[in-house]
Structure 1
């Protein structure tokens, strides 16, 4: 488990994990929602997007709409936004962003592909 403090602020913002991963934080009526920082469609900066209906973020680049609770894309179902639970530790709101994915070498990728794992 990797916890990332969410900091203070009234509007959407970016926070970073010690390993360099970045996440967008969105204040909503009943708390905070944390997602990947960039749109899975084409890498748009989601913290610059618009909040709609208190639960949907609209990417500022191509207007793809993502549910902040589930990560589901209302525009194109093949895209999914990573969402992360918010926990409070010692009075500080943090996101549980899990462990970073292990980057495979090209040789490991090719072996996995030949085994039908990719």
Structure 2
């Protein structure tokens, strides 16, 4: 488990170098991956629609901010992380960094795309 402090909207970086976008919604903060899972677009430049979906500025892929599900293509899922207060300060649990893929896993992933 990796906790990062999220004081307000913007981009935060975890100690291991991963980047996340913090969004302020009417019902609280949301933390999501900073890169679009479709093609790596900068989600900090995206926009929130209807208070529930984040739209990527590059190809307009739309992601549900509660589940990470993509309305545009179900094979893409955005990482959405829970925010909780610890001693009155909001933190997000962004989990452990992903393990590096082996060469065969990389080749299989590339072939699926």
Normalising by the residue count of structure 2, what TM-score does the alignment of the two structures yield?
Answer: 0.87
Counterpart of 2:36 in 1: which secondary structure? coil
Counterpart of 2:99 in 1: which secondary structure? coil
Q: Number of matched residues? A: 106
Q: Hey, what does 1:24 align to over in structure 2? A: 21
Cα offset for 1:7? 2.2
Cα offset for 1:104? 4.1
Alignment of 1:2-81 (within 5 A): 2-8=2-8, 12-81=9-78
Structure 2 residue runs of 5 or longer lacking an equivalent are 109-113
Structure 1 residue runs of 5 or longer lacking an equivalent are 114-118
Cα offset for 1:36? 0.6
